[in-house]
Amino acid sequence: MQKRKLGKYGPEVSAIGFGCMGLTFGYGSVVDRQDAVKLLRAAVDHGVTFFDTAEAYLNGNEEFVGEALEPFKGEVVIATKFGFKNGVAGEGMDSRPENIRRVAETSLKRLRVESLDLFYQHRVDPAVPMEDVAGTIKELIAEGKVKHFGMSEAGGESIRRAHAVQPVAVLQSEYSMWWREPEKDILPLLEELGIGFVPFAPLGKGFLTGAIDANTGFAEGDFRGIVPRFAEDARKANQKLVDAIGLIAESKGATKAQIALAWLIAQKSWIAPIPGTTKLHRLEENVRGASIELTPDDLDQIRTALDAFDVVGARYPQHLQTLVGK
């Protein structure tokens, strides 16, 4: 697995990381703790050194990660997040300094580490000045409890305000072949400021793999059931994009997922996507995406295909969309 540095201020990580949310949250089920531990350790065996969790993923997510990665201290980078009331996204945002400190102390214990490698603000909290948030992280860094400051789904103004107080090492936001909004303003800003980028949902929450079509049913509790982009008519319309990716994948002897990941890695040297999975064979497939080299001609072909396609459906329902890009 190739390594890359997340911008000027961020850590060095594997080119493909592991997003841990789906182990316990968002998809209607919780993976057995020991199965999760085995999968995360298998990821390390396959060269993954970058793992992403959060207090808000609930159901023991941080504890799973802490148990699995404890034998690899100093060899892996673990990111976690603060920013919701009582750690529950549905209760609203809370980035008050006292809550940031509470989450930091709790996450240190759950992850079984002495310092948090990367500590993200999960969403911008309009009720708390960004200078207070960044200032609190600056203090935690000075105290040795945090190594790097990150933000998630933040807009340009918030990033600049935070960065002026404490350098933002990494931004995490959604970015994939079917959500390219960061290309307009965010990626140029990150390049200007030397901030690394971590795309979540790099496989379009599973859609870009080809495993989901118009006939797919979602389990109770699977958040995709309320996402407009996953409505039946939208899935039917968006299948054309998956088909186009499939043609490119065939020409490279790869899977659709591998092409989607290789494409992201090829965009910038400071990008490291974090696909998630609960299955070993999908983990192995994703990891192999880092070894696929796309030529300039390949990238031109892909961009032409993407530019010709308008994705149908919003990526979030309206009540969730209001939390992003602040």
Domain membership flag for residue 227? no
Choose the weakest-confidence range: 85-94, 169-178, 311-320: 311-320
| Burial tier of 308 (Cβ tally within 10 Å: 0-12, 13-18, 19+) | exposed
Q: Note whether 121 and 80 are within 8 A (CB).
A: no
Q: What's residue 219's pLDDT?
A: 86
Strand partners, 81: 120
Whether the per-residue pLDDT at 138 is higher than 90: the answer is yes
325 pLDDT tier (thresholds 50, 70, 90): low
Strand partners, 51: 18, 78
Out of 57, 120, 175, 316, which one is annotated catalytic?
Answer: 57
Domain membership flag for residue 157? yes
In angstroms, the CA 29 to CA 223 distance is 11
Mean pLDDT, residues 95-105: 98
In this structure, the number of other CB atoms found within 10 A of the CB of residue 222 comes to 16
Dig out the tokens for 277 from the structure.
Answer: 């999975």
Q: What's residue 120's pLDDT?
A: 98
In this structure, the number of other CB atoms found within 10 A of the CB of residue 225 comes to 13
**Over the stretch 200-236, which tens digit does the pLDDT of each residue have?**
999 999 999 999 988 898 888 888 988 999 999 999 9
Mean pLDDT, residues 84-109: 96
Domain membership flag for residue 301? no
Domain membership flag for residue 307? no
Whether the per-residue pLDDT at 178 is higher than 80: the answer is yes
Choose the weakest-confidence range: 70-79, 117-126, 238-247, 260-269: 238-247
Chain-centroid distance, C-alpha 290: 16
Q: What's residue 326's pLDDT?
A: 79
Closest alpha carbon to 26 in 171, 197, 220: 220
In angstroms, the CA 26 to CA 325 distance is 21
324 pLDDT tier (thresholds 50, 70, 90): confident
Query: In the annotation, is 9 catalytic?
Result: no
Residue range of the domain that includes 96: 3-210+256-292
Domain membership flag for residue 173? yes
111 pLDDT tier (thresholds 50, 70, 90): very high
Whether the per-residue pLDDT at 78 is higher than 70: the answer is yes
- Overall number of domains in the chain: 1
* pTM, entire model: 0.95
Domain membership flag for residue 222? no
CATH assignment of the domain containing 24: 3.20.20.100
Tracing tokens 């949250």 back to the chain, one arrives at: 25
In angstroms, the CA 131 to CA 189 distance is 19
3-state secondary structure of 195: strand
Domain membership flag for residue 102? yes
Residue 113 — φ and ψ, nearest 5°?
-125, 165
Domain membership flag for residue 158? yes
Average pLDDT over the chain reads 95
DSSP assigned state of 87: G
Whether the per-residue pLDDT at 167 is higher than 80: the answer is yes
